[in-house]
Amino acid sequence: MNNARKKLVLVGNGMAGVRTIEHLLKLAPHAYDVTIIGAEPHPNYNRIMLSSVLAGGASLREIVLNDWDWYEENGIRLLAGQRAIGIDASAKRVTTDKGIALEYDKLVLATGSDPFMLPLPGADKEGVIAFRDLKDCETMIEASKRIKKAVVIGGGLLGLEAARGLLHLGVDVSVVHINGYLMDRQLDETAGGMLQAELERQGMKFLLRKHSVAVLGRKKVTGLAFADGSEEEAELIVMAVGIRPNVKLAKTAGIEVNRGIVVNDWLETNVEDIYSVGECAEHRGIAYGLVAPLYEQGAVLAKRLAGVETAGYAGSVTSTKLKVSGVDVFSAGRYDEPPGSRALRYQDEIDGVYKKIVLQDDKLVGAVLFGDTGDGAKLFSIMKNGESIKGREKELLLGIVPGQKGADPLERLKGLSDDEIICGCNGVSKGAIADAILNKGCSSVGEIKACTKASGSCGGCKPLVEGLLAVYAGENAVATKEGICGCTALGRDEIVAEIKRMELKSIKEVMNVLEWGNAEGCSKCRPSLNYYLGMLWPEEYKDEKESRFTNERYHANIQKDGTYSVVPRIYGGVTSPAELKKIAEVAEKFDVPMVKFTGGQRLDLLGVKKEDLPKMWEELEMPSGHAYGKALRTVKTCVGSTFCRFGTQDSIAMGIRLEKEFERLNTPAKVKLAVSGCPRNCAEATIKDFGVVAIDGGWELHIGGNGGVHVRATDLLCVVKTEDEVVEWAGAFLQYYRENAQWNERTSNWVERVGLDAVRTALQNKDDRATLCARIRKTLDLTTDPWKQIVENGALRKNFEPLAEAQNV
């Protein structure tokens, strides 16, 4: 690291803290060496989208805001899966629970909030959880596989989203709420009742005005008891009753704490060079829990750290625009009709629309919108500006000007102030979007997304972004079209077709000829282009290592503590004493903390230091298991007819043959195979990308399975008689998938998208299969395993050292 730079340590890898760093990198990209301590073993992700993960609408990859490569590209050291446990303000040092001591010049505390767990008797039983992070999502997803009934305590937004996700997972869900209607902090009773009716139609159940007093069961949860003597059965209880700022670290360091970490208008604490931002910070007596105010704080703090003159943070007027289980809801200001106020209401039970505005002294002081939230931004802008609305009450309530049939939606957008937040998830204002269109050349929603991140998370603001595009770009606006990333409006098929037609042979050439919006590309498009070029031109294209993900460059999986996992290939799960001895010797030599059998019948060496990776692979002298890559991972086998009394075919030999046939094969996403020696299917072949099941006199070939979060059973492709036919069909299928799937698209998603009949049609002709097999063989003949590169010419070491040096390894 550059010693001339100051050292900045950020405690907390959440949305507010990392957004501050993003601003800082733009204002003063070389001012600080940045280290981020993150308690979760993940890169920065959008916590707002957790409910989508739970409901199956998004994966971790899709809610990540800044992936692993972003940290590396910006020279940021991320200590994932570590917690800061102590601050020595006099020595300017932070200590983590892994024993790492970090010196700092500036320290930013963005420790967020903790879920509030009701102190009920029995709350420590197995089956009582919160809903706050990805781990909670994973717990609920896993629990849904074995339980039938769950109770969610809390009828606010978080509780309803948790309940909706569990309902989607097939669990019978009851929501317990202490008050008389749902979301009583955001909605009035009418809107809350309409929301309840809609959610009940979706299958949710509600227990209102219920005061929880105890969790029932011995070791495991069996139910929940209420103050009125009633009980509700439950195998899982999710507490979603609120959050409170995480101030423990600050408090033990002697930093002033009230409800949150007390800060001034420049987000400074009472201790010199220590700042705080986000849900953990308390400014002028308020700790905010919404994204927009936290991003406003981050912008001020970034300018302060960069030495840029700025007005202080003066607090935020907040609004809430949400989509609760498919229902649009907006709330701002005082919806509870304070003394001296009057309220105007409009309700349409048929279309499910409710609007309420609260007025005081001819000014708008509150609003609730249900079902139709199109006027929310305009109402919020009027509320913040404190302008008189005398004579305009009906216009604001109904969204029309008296005497007109309806207001032009574009005119509504024009009337918004520049500081109006359009994208609540990412804190993007109308002014920022206008600037992207007018001054930075953005002419499509995709380009605006790449430039500002607007519409890049939940997508709820996309209609507003499209409207602003129409307002400011006019005829120059490009029709909304989602490309493979924000750098281009071109989709996968268009890109591949143009690469073929114009015989483009490098990533730079593709980006230049196809007019990429970002000349350098991004972490989404560069790996995909690297794959497409390698797939189309296996002989001519030279793999671009810098366009691969970190794990693939190091030939190992990064772990949450920054160490790596090394998995040598063990064909079909069959090994030998000599091979085991070699692995054991290498593990001892490099002080590997853990050696574990994987689900794919291999040995995983966990906790390897980054600097040991090249030498370790060299001494193993075993092929890489590609556990890190978008490639053939494993071929799982059962013992088959070799030993098993039920086996009908030699599944071990078949599995080893397939693995040796297709190892090193790069694919759009990871690929797993399995061979079961009989229909009892002990190798779980029917949840693999390509599964082989032995039957009397032949083999069943299955495709498109997935045993992950979204389990998908395979489709039967065909039945063949010989082992040669198995290899032939496997090769043809894999190559057809390689040539037609989108980057990062698993076979399970691909088969569902294109249809089983399309795959069968493409492979049914023997000559077509032979052609596909010839192309896959040509590709495989040109590839070399990483361990051979090390032994023969040190290629991995050469590739590794500049990267290691850049990270001060």
Asked whether residue 438 carries a pLDDT value surpassing 70, the answer given is yes
Mean pLDDT for the stretch of residues 615-637 = 89
The enclosing H or E element of 662 equals helix 651-662
Pairing of strands 281-283, 261-263: parallel
Question: Any idea what DSSP says for residue 408?
Answer: -
Mean pLDDT for the stretch of residues 784-809 = 45
CATH for 631-784?
A: 3.30.413.10
SS3 787: helix
95 has which bridge partners?
86, 101
The answer to whether 516 and 526 are in contact (CB under 8 A) is no
CA distance 356 to 171: 35
- 792 compared with 295, residue with greater pLDDT: 295
CA distance 445 to 432: 13
Pairing of strands 44-45, 64-66: antiparallel
Altogether, the residues listed in the chain come to a count of: 809
What per-residue confidence (pLDDT) applies to 597?
87
Read off the pLDDT band of 412 (50, 70, 90). low
Q: Across all residues in the chain, what is the average pLDDT? A: 87
206 has which bridge partners?
175
* Amino acid occupying residue 33: D
Give the distance from CA 780 to its chain's centroid.
33
SS3 70: helix
Read off the pLDDT band of 692 (50, 70, 90). very high
Read off the pLDDT band of 739 (50, 70, 90). very high
Read off the pLDDT band of 22 (50, 70, 90). very high
Read off the pLDDT band of 617 (50, 70, 90). confident
Sign of CA dihedral 45, 48, 51, 57: negative
Read off the pLDDT band of 348 (50, 70, 90). confident
What per-residue confidence (pLDDT) applies to 409?
62
Asked whether residue 402 carries a pLDDT value surpassing 60, the answer given is no
For the domain made up of 6-113+245-306, give the CATH fold.
Answer: FAD/NAD(P)-binding domain (3.50.50)
- Strands of the sheet containing 715-720, edge to edge, are 632-637, 671-676, 690-695, 698-703, 715-720
Domain spans of the chain, in order of start: 6-113+245-306, 128-241, 319-407, 421-476, 492-548, 631-784
What per-residue confidence (pLDDT) applies to 403?
46
What per-residue confidence (pLDDT) applies to 543?
85
- Give Cα separations from 340 to 221, 364, 385, 706 (angstroms): 49, 13, 20, 61
What per-residue confidence (pLDDT) applies to 671?
95
Estimate the share of the chain in helix, then strand, then coil, as percent rounded to the nearest 5.
35, 25, 40
CATH for 421-476?
A: 1.10.10.1100
Mean pLDDT for the stretch of residues 785-800 = 49
What per-residue confidence (pLDDT) applies to 335?
83
Residue 236, by phi and psi: left (phi above 0), alpha (psi -120 to 50) or beta?
A: beta
Angle CA 151–152–158, to nearest 5:
160
577-589 and 613-620 helices, crossing angle to 10° = 160
Lowest mean pLDDT among 234-243, 329-338, 535-544: 329-338
CA distance 762 to 531: 22
- 634 compared with 797, residue with greater pLDDT: 634
Mean pLDDT for the stretch of residues 574-580 = 91
Mean pLDDT for the stretch of residues 393-420 = 68
CA distance 620 to 273: 48
Q: Structurally, what CATH architecture does the domain formed by 319-407 represent?
A: 2-Layer Sandwich (3.30)
Asked whether residue 239 carries a pLDDT value surpassing 90, the answer given is yes
The enclosing H or E element of 236 equals strand 236-239
3-state secondary structure 774-806: HHHHHHHHCCCCHHHHHHHHCHHHHHHHHHHHH
CA distance 732 to 767: 10
SS3 464: helix
- 689 compared with 796, residue with greater pLDDT: 689
* Amino acid occupying residue 779: T
Read off the pLDDT band of 359 (50, 70, 90). very high
Asked whether residue 286 carries a pLDDT value surpassing 50, the answer given is yes
What is the pTM (predicted TM-score) of this model?
Answer: 0.62
The answer to whether 510 and 531 are in contact (CB under 8 A) is no
What per-residue confidence (pLDDT) applies to 809?
27
Asked whether residue 87 carries a pLDDT value surpassing 50, the answer given is yes
Shortest CA distance to 10 belongs to which of 371, 19, 1? 19
Share of the chain above pLDDT 90, in %: 54
Mean pLDDT for the stretch of residues 488-497 = 88
Mean pLDDT for the stretch of residues 27-56 = 89
CA distance 268 to 296: 15
* Fold match between domain 6-113+245-306 and domain 128-241: yes
Place of tokens 């700790």: 287
State the number of CA atoms in the 13 A half-sphere of 69 facing the CB: 18
Mean pLDDT for the stretch of residues 683-692 = 95
Read off the pLDDT band of 458 (50, 70, 90). low
CA distance 14 to 699: 50
Most confident by average pLDDT, 385-394, 487-496, 603-612, 729-738: 729-738
SS3 231: strand
CA distance 400 to 409: 10
Sign of CA dihedral 44, 50, 52, 58: positive
The alpha-helical segments, DSSP class H, found in 151-267 are 157-168, 189-201, 248-252
Would you state the structure tokens that stand for residue 238, as one six-digit string? Answer: 């999710």
What per-residue confidence (pLDDT) applies to 36?
98
**Residues near 388 by beta carbon (within 8 Å), at least 6 away in sequence:** 362, 363
Mean pLDDT for the stretch of residues 326-349 = 86
What per-residue confidence (pLDDT) applies to 709?
65
* Tens-digit pLDDT profile for residues 644-681: 888 899 999 999 999 999 998 999 999 999 999 999 99
What per-residue confidence (pLDDT) applies to 408?
59
Most confident by average pLDDT, 397-406, 448-457, 617-626: 617-626
Place of tokens 């927009």: 292
Q: What homologous superfamily does CATH list for 128-241?
A: FAD/NAD(P)-binding domain (3.50.50.60)
Asked whether residue 66 carries a pLDDT value surpassing 70, the answer given is yes
3-state secondary structure 716-747: EEEEECCHHHHHHHHHHHHHHHHHHCCCCCCH
Shortest CA distance to 240 belongs to which of 334, 331, 146, 324? 324
CA distance 336 to 338: 6
